[in-house]
Amino acid sequence: MSKRRSTKQNRRLSTTRQRRQQHLLDVKVRARRASARRLQKGFLVLSLLLILLSLLGAGLFGAQRLLNSLFFTNPDYAVHSVEVTSDGDLERDAVLRAAQIEDGANIFSINLSAVEDRLRALAQVEEVDVQRLLPDKLVIVIQERRPIAWIASADANKTGFNYDGAFLMDRRGIVLQPKGSAPEYMTLPVIIGVDLKKVTVGQPIDSDPVKAALELIRECPEMLQSRFQIATIDVSKEYSLVVTDKQRSLVTFSPDDLTDQVRRLAMLLSYCDKNSKELQSANLMAERNIPVVFNEPAVSVASPSPQPVAQPTSSPQPQAQPIVRRALPVTRSAHKAEKADKSASANKNTHKKTKSSEIKPFNG
């Protein structure tokens, strides 16, 4: 009897299937609770973000209203004065029209970068700077383009250079329209051999020989100072630059490696100064054994004065006494003329005109 009772007490109340179902129910309940907690947290975070965004928007709106009331809509900051400073001939009215600045506009609402871009679009303007001076003033400082050379057609050296039909060019190759005949422009170098039909005012010239000529014009004053002043540059031949200076010396350059060629020219000019020679022509396209022609210096010759004939002083007569008095100084001048004749005969081997020596190679 005792064994049967113990067996009934140890028997399980639920089966394995029931326990599995109970476990699944517990898992589902816990998952639902976790999902609800996550939804609550997400809603809380979203609410906080909405509150923060609302506060931020309200702050920005208030700040904008404050800035407008203090600066952008404040009549104290309306533009009433525009100061224009230019180092050239550009007129103030043309600058204001190009800048498109309205009178009375708010000084903070003006885009300075846009104004500078509009002014740089003018052909005469190279650099521009626009600044605000509170409360109601704008300052525009303009640096105009400075021409450094003339450009002319290929037949300019044959028919004579006409300034009215030529154009100016700045250091960047921008073509400029000359206004009048300014004296400072008449001494600028002339680049000959440019097709003027392809030239547009305000636009750069897209030509390699012209660019090389501009580079040569920029480098010569820096490296040679006043020893070689360019008068004309012939670019009609694309493979060479034929340069004539103000002393009528003819120098041929290659469009490539201009810096080295200018250095060789500096050595050549130093050689001419040390040996008292005058350069007539040189071809710097050759790196060694440069063909050079020199001019011999001119020698001035004093021409002998004609020897006056002294009047006879013998057998004076009463009516000839005045003639004898006039003959005395004539006799003295005849003596001086005789001395001048002797000095002229001693220098009879000198010549007045110049000679061109033969072509000699110059080792640069």
What CATH number should be reported for the domain holding residue 168? 3.40.50.11690
Q: Which residues contact 77 (CB under 8 A, 6 or more apart)?
A: 71, 106, 107, 108, 134, 135, 136
CA dist 205 to 145, 176, 202, 275, Å?
A: 15, 11, 10, 42
Q: Are 190 and 236 in contact (CB under 8 A)?
A: no
Residues 156 and 138 grouped into a single domain: no
Asked if residue 65 is part of any domain, the answer here is no
pTM: 0.60
In this prediction, residues 334-350 reach a mean pLDDT of: 41
Query: Is residue 350 predicted with pLDDT exceeding 50?
Result: no
Query: Is residue 292 predicted with pLDDT exceeding 70?
Result: yes
Asked if residue 308 is part of any domain, the answer here is no
Cα–Cα distance for residue pair 93/72, rounded to 1 Å: 27
Query: Is residue 339 predicted with pLDDT exceeding 90?
Result: no
In this prediction, residues 139-158 reach a mean pLDDT of: 84
Residues 249 and 164 grouped into a single domain: yes
Cα–Cα distance for residue pair 253/267, rounded to 1 Å: 15
Residues 98 and 169 grouped into a single domain: no
Residue of higher predicted confidence among 209 and 1: 209
pLDDT at site 161? 63
Asked if residue 339 is part of any domain, the answer here is no
Residues 87 and 209 grouped into a single domain: no
Residues 126 and 228 grouped into a single domain: no
Q: Are 106 and 86 in contact (CB under 8 A)?
A: no
Lowest mean pLDDT among 75-79, 160-164, 326-330: 326-330
Residues 107 and 151 grouped into a single domain: no
Asked if residue 228 is part of any domain, the answer here is yes
Q: Which domain holds residue 111?
A: 76-144
Residues 173 and 256 grouped into a single domain: yes
Residues 248 and 189 grouped into a single domain: yes
What CATH number should be reported for the domain holding residue 120? 3.10.20.310
Q: CA nearest 104: which of 73, 130, 133?
A: 73
pLDDT at site 229? 92
In this prediction, residues 333-361 reach a mean pLDDT of: 42
Residue of higher predicted confidence among 350 and 6: 6
3 state DSSP class of 33: helix
Q: Report helix angle 258-274 to 208-224, nearest 10.
A: 40
| Backbone phi and psi for residue 302, each to the nearest 5 degrees, phi listed first | -85, 120
User: pLDDT grade, residue 14 (50/70/90)?
Assistant: low
